[in-house]
Structure 1
Amino acid sequence: MLPATDGATPSADRFAALDALRRRVAIQCADAGEGVKARRVLFSLDLPAIDLRTALDALDNFERAIVEHDDRPVVAARRLRCLAVLDGIIGG
């Protein structure tokens, strides 16, 4: 597990984990294993509850669009929303 921080400034390890997660979301298609890895990363980061909830919701909505075979614009919009949430967490 990554070291806990005060939440104000992510450590280099947290930043690297979030960046890796962001890259996985950016290229993710219908791979359930990637979703499991993404959740493990999120839970390991000791994020504030509101950030964790927001990130999980965005990730769930994105993956649901993939699994339910939504139109490409819907999947793309949900992917962008998920990336925006992760960017917000990374940026602090």
Structure 2
Amino acid sequence: MLPATDGATPSADRFAALDALRRRVAIQSCADAGEGVKARRVLFSLDLPGIDPRTALDALDNFERAIVEHDDRPVVAARRLRCLAVLDGIVGG
């Protein structure tokens, strides 16, 4: 579990967890239920002002669904890039 903060200043641990999630998505080639749960915990624990975790959850779900459903490589790649863009937006936002 990630440590709680006052919500105004995200902790370094939260950004480290988000960075680890981003790296995992960048190399992910199969869906893993345990890793998916960890990813969702990271997104729900962010509690950053102005950040809606539902957008990131939707992008992550779409990406993992493409892997599970064995979509074509271009579809998986496009959904991966979309997910990475959303995660980058959280880090940069």
Q: TM-score, normalised by structure 2?
A: 0.83
Instruction: Report sequence identity in percent.
Output: 97
Deviation at 1:51, TM superposition (A): 2.2
1:10/1:61 CA distance change after superposition, 3 Å: same
Contact 1:4 1:46 in 2 (8 A): no
Deviation at 1:83, TM superposition (A): 0.5
Moved over 6 A (4+): none
Question: Aligned residue for 2:59?
Answer: 58
Deviation at 1:30, TM superposition (A): 2.6
Aligned residues, how many?
A: 92
CA distance in 1, matches of 2:91, 2:6: 14
Q: Which consecutive residues of structure 2, in runs of 5 or more, have no partner in the other structure?
A: none
CA distance in 2, matches of 1:7, 1:77: 33
Contact 2:10 2:46 in 1 (8 A): no
CA distance in 2, matches of 1:12, 1:77: 29
Q: TM-score, normalised by structure 1?
A: 0.83
**What SS does the corresponding residue of 2:48 show, helix, strand or coil?**
coil
Contact 2:63 2:76 in 1 (8 A): yes
Contact 1:65 1:74 in 2 (8 A): yes
Across the aligned residues of Structure 1 and Structure 2, the Cα RMSD in angstroms comes to: 2.1
Contact 1:10 1:90 in 2 (8 A): no
Deviation at 1:4, TM superposition (A): 4.7
1:16/1:76 CA distance change after superposition, 3 Å: same
